Chains A and B, each alone.
Chain A
């Protein structure tokens, strides 16, 4: 055997090696900048428009007005584009064939997936939190500039709403990542994500009178973003923020567990 150009380090490849590689992968894909850039622009645009629309109304309009919720509305768009980002992280590997290079480099699938999921989670949480805060400050600046009631991070429930909204959006992205693991194709994964999150509730509403408090987008707007108790008497009280976030985490986990199970077993 020839003299190796470099001798192998002791031990074996570990999660930290794969994490470094996954960070390099995300950083060198143009689709990262495109999907995240689009998310920022679209979310902040919606927040700006919605906040602006809340200006210059007669006093009764502001009864029960929730400036925090108002300033986070744009993040609903991020639920969609963030989902596309999450799905692409894994389906991009399948559609391009990169997954076979990844598995050849790091054949222990649980290690590869732990690193991939960890990097995806960290990246989306940091990004979504930042976006949530920026959206909040933008909205409040517009509201207070226009003389409408506004909030600060010190207002009751505001900090909780902003941080939880970021987390909640990140969970959408991770759920889409799970759909990516299951379907391995970008189109199928995004269709499944949009279908389950946005379309299924509409269909359900057409069939019966389901309890819409458990629908992800409703939890987001009514439980997570809101700081003012919704609805006068007679309207169903929304889930508490903690329960809402937990429920969404369970939804995402169900999809992820199914995807991870398939990924570990299936031929690449």
Chain B
């Protein structure tokens, strides 16, 4: 369990993290979502004791990181894919780490094996690709077999196979009962990996909820309807109190009635239904809606960009 309580960090006049309070429970993957520059890394660094909060606290199982008796046996943190000396081999990097926390040295080969780096264990880590570096970083988090794991953007720079591997890996760790906290700015990835979400923007908490609730909360509750009987259906739906709009490919977008209600209405009036589907907002839609005002540096909108281009 990780608990952040009114966590605040300023850099000069900017509040990088602003009164952030949330919990990361064990047994599920908790995604830490926010645009770039929203304070995710700073928050993780404070949890790991690398940065000192200006006020508030971040606790691991009720204790600040610096007071953990054997930190690597309780917390595994991957905050930076390249937190090793490029001239050391993968094995020597893990060996010195193991020695700090009195971890048996056989663990070094075990975790190298777990992340698939056994064959390059004696190669200088500086020669590793970004994907291999991420794996070495993940191996380091596993050394002490900790109950709490933090990963900051672990899939950055990974190929599709690597991303899949990390996703299964994180879910596996959570399934073993561990606390797994993983940050990302990639919403689609979080929808596949995480069960719960902590969403922040400009250092402030926007939402702390399950992925399904998060999507449902911001969903529009509309239903897509494909029918050859457009005119009759439209008047029947309007008569039933629904709002009918045009969707893609000749489909109707119905708001105000649920899919079962529309189906029942079709049977009653003998109308043909070719396709009937509730439109759920994607996690991305939900995220955009909630963080709309929280993005620090927003690119110009597409329309704005086109207009600017046309002037040239």
Contact = CB atoms under 8 A, between A and B. Distances in A.
A187 B70 CA distance: 34
A192 B93 CA distance: 30
A2 B97 contact: no
A2 B177 contact: yes
A103 B85 contact: no
A104 B48 contact: yes
Interface string A1-24: 110111011011100011011101
A1 to B, nearest CB: 5
A254 interface: no
B87 interface: yes
A31 interface: yes
A29 B100 contact: no
Interface residues of A, number: 37
A12 B178 CA distance: 22
A56 interface: no
A52 to B, nearest CB: 37
Interface in A90-149: 92-93, 96-98, 100-108
A4 B176 CA distance: 11
Residue among B79, B89, B96, B97 facing the most chain A CB atoms (10 A cut-off): B96
A15 B135 CA distance: 29
A30 interface: yes
Contacts of B73: 4, 8
B99 A24 contact: yes
A11 B83 contact: no
Nearest to B68: A107
Contacts, number: 115
Contact of B84 (A20, A30, A97): A97
Contact of A31 (B77, B84, B87, B178): B87
Interface in B77-92: 77, 79-80, 82-89, 92
A24 B147 contact: no
A209 interface: no
A13 B70 contact: yes
A29 to B, nearest CB: 6
Contacts of A104: 48-50, 71-72, 75, 77, 79
Nearest to B64: A107
A237 interface: no
B71 A267 contact: no
A31 B83 CA distance: 18
B204 interface: no
Interface residues of B, number: 45
Contact of B176 (A2, A12, A98, A103): A2
B71 A100 contact: no
A76 B26 CA distance: 59
B119 to A, nearest CB: 19
A9 to B, nearest CB: 5
Contacts of B69: 8, 11-13
Contacts of A268: 45, 50-51
Contacts of A208: none
Contacts of B87: 29-31
Nearest to A97: B83
A23 to B, nearest CB: 8
A24 B51 contact: no
Contacts of A11: 69
B273 interface: no
Contacts of A20: 99-100
B178 A2 contact: yes
B100 A13 contact: yes
A11 B68 CA distance: 10
5 contacts: A6-B145, A17-B102, A24-B95, A24-B96, A267-B45
Interface of A: 1-2, 4-6, 8-9, 11-13, 17-18, 20-22, 24-25, 28-31, 92-93, 96-98, 100-108, 267-268
Interface of B: 26, 45, 48-52, 65-66, 68-73, 75, 77, 79-80, 82-89, 92-93, 95-97, 99-104, 107, 140, 145, 147, 176-178
